[in-house]
Amino acid sequence: MEQATIDHKSQARAKEGKYLTFVLGHEEYGLEILKVREIISVMEITEVPQVPPFIKGVINLRGKVIPIIDLRLKFGMSAIEYTRETCIIVVNVHDLLLGIVVDTVAEVLDISEKDIDPPPTFGSAIKTDFILGMGKVKGKVKILLDIDKVLSSEELEVVASEMA
């Protein structure tokens, strides 16, 4: 039992730090700030045929073609019209730049080890390995994402092949 406590503490310590928080629907999520390259407003997205619906297409960002993922669709939420608040967060995932569309960006938070709980377990049928933990900030819970695991390796291969 002692080992499990130590393992949880070392995992929480690894997750402690600065997070960019954003909103999808009624929930707030956080990404490790070190994974974030930049935040841009939604621009014209070129659709790519034969890709999963959550891959909205690609953008040309200063001469670089970047795939765009709609995180609402990836998480099984309903699509909404993009507004002035809608943003694209450009992140680095396994040395691939990609943009994730979010409803709105909230703030950068410094979340300490003591304020991060492990992700809930819902049984083996529900995949939650993309959740780093649950950050408790000002009486609210932020779902902290491991952006490297939000897309499966197969999905990343599809995205990477679109860039080839």
**Per-residue model confidence (pLDDT) at position 9:** 47
16-34 confidence digits (pLDDT tens): 899 999 999 999 999 999 9
The residues near 55 (Cβ < 8 Å, ≥ 6 apart) are: 48, 67, 68, 69, 70, 158, 159, 162
Alpha-carbon distance values, 105 to 63, 73, 109 (Å): 25, 17, 12
90-130 confidence digits (pLDDT tens): 999 888 899 999 999 999 999 999 999 988 776 655 567 78
Report yes or no: 91 and 35 within 8 Å, Cβ to Cβ: yes
Report how far residue 73's alpha carbon sits from residue 69's, in angstroms, rounded to the nearest whole number. Answer: 8
Q: Is it the case that residue 44 has pLDDT exceeding 90?
A: yes
| Residue of higher predicted confidence among 161 and 95 | 95
Can you point out the beta strands (E) in 25-115? 27-32, 36-41, 55-61, 64-70, 87-93, 96-102, 104-111
**Per-residue model confidence (pLDDT) at position 162:** 63
Q: What percent of the chain has pLDDT over 70?
A: 85
Positive/negative CA dihedral, 17, 18, 20, 26 = positive
| Residue of higher predicted confidence among 154 and 70 | 70
Region class of 111: left (phi > 0), else alpha (psi between -120 and 50), else beta: beta
According to DSSP, residue 1 is labeled -
**Per-residue model confidence (pLDDT) at position 3:** 42
Tell me what the pLDDT averaged over the chain comes to. 86
Lowest mean pLDDT among 15-19, 85-89, 97-101, 154-158: 154-158
User: What H or E segment, with its residue span, contains residue 80?
Assistant: none
Report how far residue 5's alpha carbon sits from residue 37's, in angstroms, rounded to the nearest whole number. Answer: 34
According to DSSP, residue 9 is labeled H
